[in-house]
Amino acid sequence: MMRAIQGALIIASTIQIILGFSGLWRNVARLLSPLSAVPLVALAGFGLYELGFPGVARCVEIGLPQLIILVLVSQYLSHMMHSGRNILERFAVLISVAIVWIYAHILTVSGVYDHTRLRTQTSCRTDRTGLIHSAPWIRAPYPFQWGAPSFHAGEAFAMMMAAFVALVESTGGFIAVSRYASATHMPPSILSRGVGWQGIGILLSGLFGSGECWSFGFDPCWQSKSCSDFSWLYDILFDSRQVFQTKPYKSCKFGAVFASIPAPIIAALYCLFFAYVGGVGLSFLQFCNLNTFRTKFILGFSVFLGLSVPQYFNEYEAINGYGPVHTSSRWFNNIVNVPFSSEAFVAAIVAYFLDNTLHYRDGSVRKDRGKHWWDQFRSFNSDSRSEEFYSLPFNLNRFFPSV
């Protein structure tokens, strides 16, 4: 199984590497406007609502305190206590997680969950399955640790579709990152280059074994106040949990400690992180003319279908055990069912199509959709600040230019 996943990831990475480094995705991004970016970025965050409070409620005595303390530290105490270094604002996640983690461990060792249901123990306890004790102190990952990867056309095509969906969703994530980093709007060439690097991350995941190499390849979004901080936390805390809990002997003690964090704590972080992403999507409305019927139609129709279509696909699968497209070819079923189960993908496709085809010859439409605000960032050299925000370190621009 793992060998097949490795092979599928290696092949799927090529779609993002080719689209990114060739500049093809740049041509797609150039047609993106603030109007079509709103559904994409907003649902990249809001579309993941099922990972938020439902996860907190699995162990409400741990998840709810984490959510409350996180909001208090990051939004209230950081503004009430002015130290000049913004320590509370910068380290609100680490501080709140440490406090609630210790609190959860006290509940665990005091025997509160000893006689509860297995589901409650799985969600609340910090000492499940001897995770930390069984993990080695040091472990270096190496390529093909599961053996030589196996390549199957069906799995490869299905994974390539998943990679393409991740590419679209990550486009919204990249835009959110630049917004929260107080940078200029990301030039399409830089966005395309980022997609290429994301493909390299997926390739490394395939080479070193899925889960061993934390990449941005299949993160739903992914991204917080300082969005890169959230991506790091999401990769470490979520992806590592999956690997460490199933293969504890494959991780080091450092990773096993992170994997022991109860899931409701992570879900509480999602409530804030995904809200940040959705909020930055809504902020692009300031560039649009909300008084026109065209703008309101595109926004409402794309967001509604972005929520309604995946809801149908997910409900159908939950009831019947398979998606609406159900043939004898499993890989074909995945190719069709996977993209329509993503809120951000569906909303982005609908908004992108309508925004570039509906009354596009009308001269006033360009200003209504906010496109004129992004014209100055159409190319890398059109704004002098692009070099400051988007140049690569270690003089890597020579090898990976902004095409």
Task: Give residue 83's pLDDT.
Answer: 65
Contact criterion met (CB below 8 Å) for 370 and 34: yes
Task: Give residue 388's pLDDT.
Answer: 79
Locate 57 and state its tokens.
């409620």
Locate 357 and state its tokens.
């085809």
Low-confidence ranges of the chain (pLDDT < 50): 213-249
Question: Could you give the percent of the chain with pLDDT greater than 90?
Answer: 39
Q: How far apart are CA 62 and CA 383, in angstroms?
A: 48
Task: Give residue 122's pLDDT.
Answer: 84
Q: How far apart are CA 219 and CA 44, in angstroms?
A: 10
Closest CA to 396 of 197, 192, 184: 197
> What count of other Cβ atoms lies within 10 Å of the Cβ of residue 238?
20
Task: Give residue 128's pLDDT.
Answer: 65
> What count of other Cβ atoms lies within 10 Å of the Cβ of residue 384?
8
Q: How far apart are CA 279 and CA 281, in angstroms?
A: 5
Closest CA to 11 of 155, 130, 176, 115: 155
What is the average pLDDT value for the chain, to the nearest integer? 82
Task: Give residue 182's pLDDT.
Answer: 84
Q: Which long-range contacts (CB under 8 A, 24 or more apart) does 125-134 make?
A: 125/262, 126/101, 126/260, 126/261, 126/262, 127/260, 128/245, 128/260, 129/245, 129/248, 130/248, 131/244, 131/245, 131/248, 131/256, 131/259, 131/260, 132/253, 132/256, 132/257, 132/260, 134/248, 134/249, 134/256
> What count of other Cβ atoms lies within 10 Å of the Cβ of residue 242?
12
Task: Give residue 247's pLDDT.
Answer: 43
Task: Give residue 227's pLDDT.
Answer: 38
Task: Give residue 131's pLDDT.
Answer: 66
Helices within 209-323 (DSSP H only)? 227-233, 240-246, 253-259, 263-283, 293-320
Q: How far apart are CA 255 and CA 399, in angstroms?
A: 33
pLDDT digits (tens, 9 = 90+) for 82-109: 666 777 878 889 999 999 999 998 998 8
